[in-house]
């Protein structure tokens, strides 16, 4: 049962008669003011809607509150509502109702979570790395957030289609093809194609950036000189103004700040370029390669263009490289327990692109501009290019073809793109173009996320400035988890419980979980700092703590020799006499609301927050209410059932985040 939506529906009904027709539009906002109470002394739920309504209707809020209460039909669920203070309406769930609900949840394999109705068909486009580049820390977010969204939606009863839109057709293939043709180390390639292709990608990329950087440097230096001059001129103006005794101009001050920021930005960009150039210049082998391949940038684009044009050699190399690259990614997905229904990469859509452009043209939705085919969109300064001057199609063209496919083949009601926020403009344009094209019945949403930062607050890089590889990070987390598990086990009162191989298995589960949970527990819109120590902490909002709470319940059962299966099969039921029992039961019943809310705007951190509240609630229950040592048998049994429902809810919640539990740790 979803308590909050139910209460809101009851309020809606009560309000409908109260406000006149022209105010109906505001009813939503008012109904949304029904919330969980912050302080249990004031009840379980609270509604502050009488205050704004009072203003609207020009009447005292307390009077309005009293009138709402009179019309509110919640007698089956709640004790009589109370009006407090300036007009708060406090609701307390009836004890018998709470008891019957929590018993029903306990007896339900779905833990009381109703199936969504109507079920929607939702495509989730996530992970979607560019193959041929090793996966790095940035890929973790899309993969983990997308997977959690899929699992939660599916549990709620929606039809989910997960699709890994692999970048398997872009410039990175031009890079490894060029690298293979000129620099391959055969023995290394034969021994491990993926490692060698990774090296080639890095090498070619480095050489391309070297030449691009050397070419761009003078231009940037010129730009810097101009920016400095402008900043100095503005500064001089400001000094003159100050000397003349006139008041400082605020907007001029702002403009000066902007100029200074520009100077700093350009300086940083130059420093970055210089460091990359220096890295090549200072290495004789690299410097020689750079000198021998002066036009590598265009050569790489040519290789890509030839692949796209169907050149036999490049096509054959692509077919040879792709399975190896996919295999390497597959190993990571297996490790972190992520699967896809489809992995239709960009290459899958290539033979549809010409038709997409032709369709836009024939419908008069695209026209030529400076040789390129463009879709002009309202509300955007620049058009969306769907075919370049040289005939090449773009990322956007592929995405349009993909939307057509997903709507026509899969009849999707909704398509979610779990992609870095920096692609925001691409998706806004893409969605606008798709609507223009006629796909206006499918809800398209960019589920954007921020950047993973290092301790210095900058994008997470290795000391030498490279992006951090995913495999290394996972290994590291597991190794740290292994130490924690060992220390924890060694410190147990009656001596260690886990064998070496159990310790390994537990560390594997806990290490991977820590990384996933840390990512999911941050609001996806913000950047977050990757901190291995924090994410493995035994206390606080971490996977480790949730897993520990689960294992703790399990420990109660094994310590008391409780046959939980027999208990589940029996006819026992819960009673909620102690306030801590009641508080825990109420928290357990909020699971359903948390799931619904977490997919409302696709924010898994709503679910992690819920789990954190639940484990806290369990902890204070456990502190105040003896379970195995409960005096009466009925109380003992009732508490065991509460423990059981707690453990199952934690396990289910973590499972929806793609996280496993262990029985002991």
**Nearer residue to ligand ARG within complex by CB, 54 or 138:** 138
Instruction: Please report how close the Cβ of residue 204 comes to ligand ARG at its closest, in angstroms.
Output: 18
Q: How deeply is 594 buried, as exposed, middle or buried, from its count of CB atoms within 10 A (0-12, 13-18, 19+)?
A: buried
Q: How deeply is 15 buried, as exposed, middle or buried, from its count of CB atoms within 10 A (0-12, 13-18, 19+)?
A: buried
Phi and psi at residue 559, to the nearest 5°: -65, -40
Helix H or strand E encompassing 386: strand 384-387
* Contact residues for 575 (Cβ-Cβ < 8 A; gap 6+): 99, 581, 634, 635, 638
**Nearer residue to ligand ARG within complex by CB, 112 or 129:** 129
Instruction: Please report how close the Cβ of residue 309 comes to ligand ARG at its closest, in angstroms.
Output: 22
**Nearer residue to ligand ARG within complex by CB, 130 or 442:** 130
- What is the C-alpha separation between 134 and 198, in angstroms, rounded? 6
Residues near ligand ARG (CB under 6 A) are: 125, 128-130, 165, 167, 399, 402, 417, 419
Query: Could you tell me whether strands 443-449 and 414-420 are parallel, antiparallel, or unpaired per DSSP bridges?
Result: parallel
Q: Which of 528, 518, 346, 524 is nearest to 419 (CA)?
A: 524
**Nearer residue to ligand ARG within complex by CB, 429 or 580:** 429
Tell me whether the omega of the peptide bond preceding residue 412 falls within 30 degrees of 0, making it cis.
Answer: no
- What is the C-alpha separation between 138 and 72, in angstroms, rounded? 50
* Contact residues for 339 (Cβ-Cβ < 8 A; gap 6+): 162, 333
- What is the C-alpha separation between 484 and 123, in angstroms, rounded? 39
Instruction: Please report how close the Cβ of residue 526 comes to ligand ARG at its closest, in angstroms.
Output: 20
Cα separation values, 488 from 474, 483, 491, 496, 499, Å: 21, 8, 5, 9, 13
Determine the residue with CB nearest ligand ARG. 167
Instruction: Please report how close the Cβ of residue 363 comes to ligand ARG at its closest, in angstroms.
Output: 23
Instruction: Please report how close the Cβ of residue 162 comes to ligand ARG at its closest, in angstroms.
Output: 12
**Nearer residue to ligand ARG within complex by CB, 164 or 373:** 164
Instruction: Please report how close the Cβ of residue 84 comes to ligand ARG at its closest, in angstroms.
Output: 50
> Would you state the structure tokens that stand for residue 137, as one six-digit string?
């820390």
Instruction: Please report how close the Cβ of residue 512 comes to ligand ARG at its closest, in angstroms.
Output: 22
**Nearer residue to ligand ARG within complex by CB, 132 or 656:** 132
Cα separation values, 252 from 169, 237, 258, 377, 439, Å: 48, 9, 10, 34, 47
Instruction: Please report how close the Cβ of residue 430 comes to ligand ARG at its closest, in angstroms.
Output: 8
DSSP 631: S
**Nearer residue to ligand ARG within complex by CB, 167 or 658:** 167
**Nearer residue to ligand ARG within complex by CB, 110 or 435:** 435
Q: Coil, strand or helix: which one is 662?
A: coil
**Nearer residue to ligand ARG within complex by CB, 201 or 417:** 417
Helix H or strand E encompassing 439: none
Instruction: Please report how close the Cβ of residue 401 comes to ligand ARG at its closest, in angstroms.
Output: 10
- Cβ of 336: how many Cβ atoms within 10 Å? 17
**Nearer residue to ligand ARG within complex by CB, 402 or 521:** 402
Instruction: Please report how close the Cβ of residue 432 comes to ligand ARG at its closest, in angstroms.
Output: 15
């Amino acid at each position: 049962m979803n308590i909050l939506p139910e209460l809101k529906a009851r309020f809606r009904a009560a309000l409908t008669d109260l406000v006149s027709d022209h105010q109906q539009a505001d009813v939503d906002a008012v109904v949304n003011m029904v919330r969980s109470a912050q302080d249990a002394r004031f009840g379980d739920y609270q509604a502050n809607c009488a205050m704004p309504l009072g203003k609207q209707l020009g009447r005292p809020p307390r009077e309005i509150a009293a009138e709402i209460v009179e019309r509110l039909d919640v007698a089956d669920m709640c004790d009589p509502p109370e009006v407090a203070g300036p007009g708060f309406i406090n609701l307390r769930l009836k004890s018998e109702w709470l008891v019957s609900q929590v018993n029903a949840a306990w007896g339900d394999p779905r833990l009381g979570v109703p199936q969504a109705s109507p079920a929607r068909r939702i495509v989730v486009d996530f992970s979607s790395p560019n193959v041929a580049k090793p996966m790095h820390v940035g890929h973790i977010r899309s993969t983990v957030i997308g997977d959690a969204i899929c699992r939660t939606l599916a549990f709620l009863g929606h039809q989910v289609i997960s699709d890994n839109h692999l970048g398997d057709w872009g410039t990175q293939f031009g890079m490894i093809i060029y690298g293979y043709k000129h620099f391959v180390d055969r023995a290394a390639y034969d021994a491990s194609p993926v490692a060698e292709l990774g090296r080639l990608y890095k090498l070619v990329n480095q050489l391309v950036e070297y030449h691009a950087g050397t070419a761009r440097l003078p231009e940037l230096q010129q730009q810097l000189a101009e920016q400095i001059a402008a900043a100095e001129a503005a500064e001089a103006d400001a000094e003159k103004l100050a000397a003349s005794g006139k008041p400082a101009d605020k907007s001029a001050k702002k403009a000066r700040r902007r100029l200074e920021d520009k100077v700093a930005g350009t300086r940083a960009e130059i420093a970055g370029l210089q460091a990359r150039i220096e890295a090549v210049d200072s290495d004789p082998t690299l410097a020689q390669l750079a000198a021998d391949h002066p036009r590598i940038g265009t050569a790489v684009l040519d290789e890509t263009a030839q692949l796209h044009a169907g050149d036999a050699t490049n096509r054959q190399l692509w077919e040879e490289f792709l399975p190896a690259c996919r295999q390497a990614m597959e190993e990571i997905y297996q490790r972190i327990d992520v699967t896809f229904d489809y992995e239709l990469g960009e290459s899958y859509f290539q033979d549809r692109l010409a038709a997409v452009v032709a369709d836009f043209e024939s419908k008069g939705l695209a026209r030529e501009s400076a040789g390129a085919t463009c879709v002009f969109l309202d509300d955007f300064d620049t058009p969306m290019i769907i075919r370049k001057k040289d005939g090449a199609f773009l990322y956007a063209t592929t995405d349009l073809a993909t939307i057509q496919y997903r709507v026509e083949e899969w009849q999707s009601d909704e398509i979610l793109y779990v992609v870095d926020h920096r692609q925001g403009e691409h998706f806004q344009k893409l969605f606008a173009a798709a609507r223009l094209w006629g796909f206006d019945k499918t809800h398209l949403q960019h589920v954007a996320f921020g950047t993973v930062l290092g301790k210095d607050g900058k994008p997470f890089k290795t000391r030498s400035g490279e992006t951090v590889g995913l495999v290394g990070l996972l290994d590291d987390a597991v190794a740290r988890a292994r130490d924690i598990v060992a220390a924890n086990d060694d410190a147990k009162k009656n001596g260690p419980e886990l064998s070496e191989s159990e310790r390994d298995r537990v560390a594997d589960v806990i290490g991977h979980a820590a990384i996933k949970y840390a990512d999911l527990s941050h609001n996806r819109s913000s950047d977050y700092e990757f901190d291995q120590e924090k994410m493995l902490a035994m206390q606080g909002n971490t996977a480790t703590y949730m897993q520990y709470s689960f294992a703790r319940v399990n420990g109660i059962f094994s310590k008391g020799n409780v046959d939980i299966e027999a208990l589940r099969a029996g006819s026992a039921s819960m009673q909620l006499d102690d306030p801590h029992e009641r508080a825990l039961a109420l928290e357990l019943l909020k699971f359903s609301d948390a799931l619904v809310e977490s997919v409302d705007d696709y924010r898994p951190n709503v679910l992690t927050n819920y789990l954190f509240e639940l484990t806290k609630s369990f902890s204070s229950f456990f502190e105040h209410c003896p379970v195995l040592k409960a005096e009466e048998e009925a109380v003992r049994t009732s508490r065991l059932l509460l423990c059981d429902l707690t453990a199952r809810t934690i396990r289910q919640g973590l499972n929806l985040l793609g996280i496993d539990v262990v029985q002991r740790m």
